Amino acid sequence: MKIKRQKQAKKTISFYKYNFSFREPFQILFDGTFCQAALKNKIQIKEQMPKYLMGEVQLCTTNCALKELETLGKELYGAKLILQRYQVRNCAHFKSPVPASECLLSMLGETNPHHYFVATQDHTLTAGLKKISGCPLFYIISNTIVLDKPSQVSLDQVQAVSLGELVSPAQQQSIRSLKEEQGIGQVDGERRGKKRRRKKSHPNPLSCLKKKKKGGPTPPRKKTEEGEKKRNRQKKQKTEEVPAPAKTNT
Ligand SMILES: [Zn+2]
């Protein structure tokens, strides 16, 4: 069973790495419900998560999630102690905290641009997560942490992109960075193509100027002389400017 789960996790992690450019250190957003479940099941989050993701992790939460635990009282004191140790990421509810589920969803936006994993047992949050593409979910079931399989929204998004139906800006970026990392030449090709297009637009006015020079060569010479003079003046000005601040300092 363990090996099966590990294989599935590997598959899921590489899915997010490849399609949504998830990178180490993996950022995991926790709420109180997950910490409470971990505590009940004697799961050491800090030790288990790096093993599970086979890489460096950053354990994070938000102020709203912490505030929610405070208001829920003594029963969740242990969970609060765990959550307090994590990095607090800035959310938009600095002045008036909202429920943790609402807050964490707001951290993900529409496309999860900061590549958060979310660790929760909250069903409203889980339901919301499944509507966001590229948002992996951790939950605890029967004493173990489980990384949920990619949601249908994520799968659909990846398929649409692969078919060329849909390329969101976030995905364009992720695709570019992936290609650069893997040294695939398509990115260079695209860039070269763009440069060539620019060159095509420039030579036309230049070639027109050359033709004019043939007709009357004197006016362009004056222009170049003026240009040189201007350059000299600029250089002189620069050298003059350098000692000026020194004078003000003394
Ligand atoms: Zn918040």
The pLDDT value recorded for residue 248 is 44
**pLDDT recorded at residue 139:** 97
Distance of CA 84 from the midpoint of ligand 1 (Å): 15
Q: Is residue 21 part of a domain?
A: yes
- Tally of domains in the chain: 2
Rounded to two decimals, the pTM is 0.67
The reply to whether 32 and 137 lie within a common domain is: yes
Tell me how far apart the alpha carbons of residues 5 and 113 are, in angstroms, rounded to a whole number: 27
Instruction: Please give the DSSP secondary-structure letter assigned to residue 132.
Output: S
The per-residue pLDDT for range 11-51, each reduced to its tens digit, is 999 999 999 999 999 999 999 999 999 999 999 999 999 99
Name the one residue in this structure whose structure tokens are 């139906």: 165
Distance in Å, CA 175 to ligand 1 centroid: 30
How far is 145 from 34, CA to CA, in rounded Å? 10
40 CA distance to ligand 1 middle (Å) = 26
Give the residue numbers spanning the domain of 231: 213-239
30 CA to centre of ligand 1 in angstroms:
12
The secondary element (H helix, E strand) that includes residue 9 is helix 2-20
pLDDT of residue 176: 80
Computed over every residue of the chain, the mean pLDDT equals 81
Verify that 220 and 161 share a domain, yes or no: no
- 37 is a domain residue: yes
Contact 174, 19 (CB under 8 A): yes
Which of 149, 154, 146, 150 lies closest to 52, judged by CA? 146
**Gap from CA of 88 to ligand 1 centroid (Å):** 10
Tell me what pLDDT residue 201 has: 56
CA dist 63 and 208 (Å) reads 64
Alpha-carbon distance of 103 to 126, in angstroms, equals 13
Distance CA 50, CA 31 (A): 18
Considering the domain boundaries, does residue 198 fall inside one? no
Say what the pLDDT of residue 189 is.
44
Q: From its phi and psi, is residue 117 left (phi > 0), alpha (psi between -120 and 50) or beta?
A: beta
Quick one: 142 and 223 in the same domain? no
Q: Which of 65, 52, 61, 66 is nearest to 29 (CA)?
A: 61
Reading the block at residue 223, the tokens are 């222009």
- CATH number of residue 6's parent domain: 3.40.50.1010
Judgement on whether residues 115 and 228 belong to the same structural domain of the protein: no
Residue 173: partners with Cβ closer than 8 Å, 6 or more residues away: 21
Q: In the prediction, which pLDDT does 210 show?
A: 58
Ligand 1 centroid – CA 104 distance (Å):
7
List of the chain residues with pLDDT < 70? 1, 166-171, 185-250
Sheet-wide strand order for 137-141: 87-89, 57-62, 26-30, 116-119, 137-141, 144-147
Quick check: is 145 in a domain?
yes
Q: Which of 139, 166, 193 is the last residue of a domain?
A: 166
The alpha carbon of 45 and the centre of ligand 1 are apart by a number of angstroms equal to 22
Q: How many Å separate Cα 130 from the centre of its chain?
A: 19
